[in-house]
Structure 1
Amino acid sequence: MTNILILTAGTRVKLVEYFKMLPNVKVVCTDASLNAPALYFGDAHYQMPCFTDPTYLERVLEVCEAENIDAVLPIIDTTSFILSQHKQRFTEKGIKVITSPAETVALTFDKRQLAKFCRDNQLPTIPTFDSLAEFEQARVAGLIDFPVFVKPAIGSGSIDNYKVHNMSELKNILANKKDMIIQAFIKGTEYGVDVYCDLETGELVDFFVKEKLLMRSGETDKARSANPQPVLPILQDLVRRANFHGPVDVEFFYDQGQWLISEINTRFGGGYPFAQACGKNYPQLIVNNINGKRNHVQNFAYPQDVILMKYPEIAMVTAVESNQRSLKRHVV
Structure 2
Amino acid sequence: MSQNSMRILVCSAGRRVGLIQCFRSAAERLNIDLKVYASDLVPDEAAACAIADVALKMPRSDAPEYAAAVLQAVKENAIDLVVPTIDPDLKPLALAHEEFARAGARLHVSPAHVLDIVRDKRLTAEVLAAAGVPVPSTLSLDELRATPDRLNWPVFAKPSGGSASRGLQVFDRIEDVPTEFPEPMIFQNLVRGPEFTVNIFVDADGVLRTVIPHLRKSIRAGEVEKGVTRRRQDLRDIAEGIVSALPDLRGVACFQTLEDDIHGPCVIEINARFGGGYPLADHAGATFAQWLLEETMGRPCTAHDNWREGVRMMRYDSAVYVD
Runs of 4+ in 1 over 3 A off after TM superposition: 136-140
Q: CA deviation at 1:19?
A: 1.1
Equivalent of 2:135 in 125, 142, 163: 125
Does structure 2 conserve the Cα–Cα contact (< 8 Å) formed by 1:17 and 1:41?
Answer: no
Structure 1 length-normalised TM: 0.89
- Deviation string for 1:7-30 (max 9, x for gaps)? 000000010111122132221100
Q: Give, in whole Å, the separation in 1 of the partners of 2:33 and 2:303.
A: 24
The alignment partner of 2:180 has SS state of helix
Equivalent of 1:27 in 33, 36, 39: 36
Does structure 2 conserve the Cα–Cα contact (< 8 Å) formed by 1:205 and 1:296?
Answer: no
Q: CA deviation at 1:288?
A: 0.9
Alignment of 1:279-298 (within 5 A): 279-295=285-301, 298=304
Which residue does the alignment assign to 2:152?
145
Are 1:56 and 2:63 an aligned pair? no
Are 1:277 and 2:283 an aligned pair? yes
- Deviation string for 1:223-263 (max 9, x for gaps)? 12111322112211211220210110111112225221110
Which residue does the alignment assign to 1:13?
17
Q: CA deviation at 1:44?
A: 0.8
Are 1:80 and 2:90 an aligned pair? yes
What is the one-letter code of the residue matched to 2:164? G
Q: Give, in whole Å, the separation in 2 of the partners of 1:190 and 1:51.
A: 29
Q: Give, in whole Å, the separation in 2 of the partners of 1:37 and 1:7.
A: 13
Q: Give, in whole Å, the separation in 2 of the partners of 1:177 and 1:113.
A: 19
Are 1:230 and 2:249 an aligned pair? no
Give the number of aligned pairs: 311
What is the one-letter code of the residue matched to 2:290? Q
The alignment partner of 2:45 has SS state of coil
Q: Give, in whole Å, the separation in 1 of the partners of 2:205 and 2:147.
A: 40
- Deviation string for 1:142-180 (max 9, x for gaps)? x4221111111111111111011111211x2x4243311
Alignment of 1:295-314 (within 5 A): 295=301, 298=304, 300-314=305-319
Q: CA deviation at 1:100?
A: 1.2
Alignment of 1:88-99 (within 5 A): 88-99=98-109
Q: Give, in whole Å, the separation in 1 of the partners of 2:97 and 2:191.
A: 37
The alignment partner of 1:125 has SS state of coil
Does structure 2 conserve the Cα–Cα contact (< 8 Å) formed by 1:81 and 1:109?
Answer: no
The alignment partner of 2:88 has SS state of helix
What is the one-letter code of the residue matched to 1:77? D
Does structure 1 conserve the Cα–Cα contact (< 8 Å) formed by 2:74 and 2:103?
Answer: no
Q: Give, in whole Å, the separation in 2 of the partners of 1:58 and 1:306.
A: 41
Equivalent of 1:169 in 176, 199, 223: 176
Identity between Structure 1 and Structure 2 (%): 27
Does structure 2 conserve the Cα–Cα contact (< 8 Å) formed by 1:146 and 1:166?
Answer: yes
Are 1:265 and 2:271 an aligned pair? yes
Q: CA deviation at 1:296?
A: 5.2
Which residue does the alignment assign to 1:158?
165
Query: RMSD over aligned Cα, in angstroms?
Result: 1.6
- Deviation string for 1:36-80 (max 9, x for gaps)? 100022211111111222222222112111211111111100101
Q: CA deviation at 1:138?
A: 4.7
Unmatched 5+ stretches in structure 1: 319-332
The alignment partner of 1:175 has SS state of coil
Unmatched 5+ stretches in structure 2: none
Residues 97 and 39 of structure 1: is their aligned pair in 2 closer, same or farther, counting only changes over 3 Å? Answer: same
Which residue does the alignment assign to 1:39?
49
Equivalent of 2:144 in 135, 140, 162: 135
